[in-house]
Amino acid sequence: MKRSRIKMIVIIGLLISIGMVLHVVESLIPISHFVPGAKIGLANIASLLGLIILGFQAGLIILIFRVLLGSLLGGTFLSFSFLMSVSGGLLGFLLMALAYLLAGRYFSFIGISIIGAVFHNLGQIITATFIIGNLGLFYYLPYLTLLAIPAGIMIGLVVDFTYSYLPQGMAGDFS
């Protein structure tokens, strides 16, 4: 029991670290110069793997810590950018978790990732609309959704590939 708990804590720490590295790598990709606010969502690889391997609670911890640490290191803690990241991340993660935990046999990792990407954007639009007070921001949602689908496919493929190389039954070690 104790060994399993230590193993879980180590894996959570590793996934948070991976998420942080991917966050930094993604900040070097100039996609938002072409489409304001658009990101690939590379750090979501860590959260989705956490959800699949360790379950809902661990995946949520990974998401929260990578967003908090990323904003602290990036100097955006409690800024508009931080609020957008938290709201999008939470909504996207919650919908990914629902899809995986309640209907996982109907969705591949790619499908779950697309759901997360689309709802991440929705969460950000809702938050921005609430803060700015302009419903016109919802006109931007179809463009973000068109970008979320290929990004979700890419993230889902990476998660699927990574998961296929993990030891069989690893997810069951922590249940």
CA-nearest of 26, 70, 22, 17 to 45 is 22
Q: What is the pLDDT of residue 33?
A: 62
- For the chain, what are the domain ranges? 2-174
Euclidean distance between CA atoms 166 and 157, whole angstroms: 15
Of residues 136 and 37, the one with the higher pLDDT is: 136
For residue 172, pLDDT beyond 60: no
CB atoms within 10 A of CB 136: 8
2-174 folds as Arp2/3 complex 21 kDa subunit ARPC3 (1.10.1760)
Compute the average pLDDT of residues 154-173: 82
For residue 63, pLDDT beyond 90: yes
Predicted confidence (pLDDT) per residue in 88-112, tens digit = 999 999 999 999 999 878 889 999 9
Of the chain, the percentage scoring pLDDT greater than 90 comes to 51
Q: In three state form, how does the secondary structure of the chain look? A: CHHHHHHHHHHHHHHHHHHHHHHHHHHCCHHHHCCCCCCCCCCHHHHHHHHHHHCHHHHHHHHHHHHHHHHHHHCCCCCHHHHHHHHHHHHHHHHHHHHHHHHCCCCCHHHHHHHHHHHHHHHHHHHHHHHHCCHHHHHHHHHHHHHHHHHHHHHHHHHHHHHHCCCCCCHHHHC
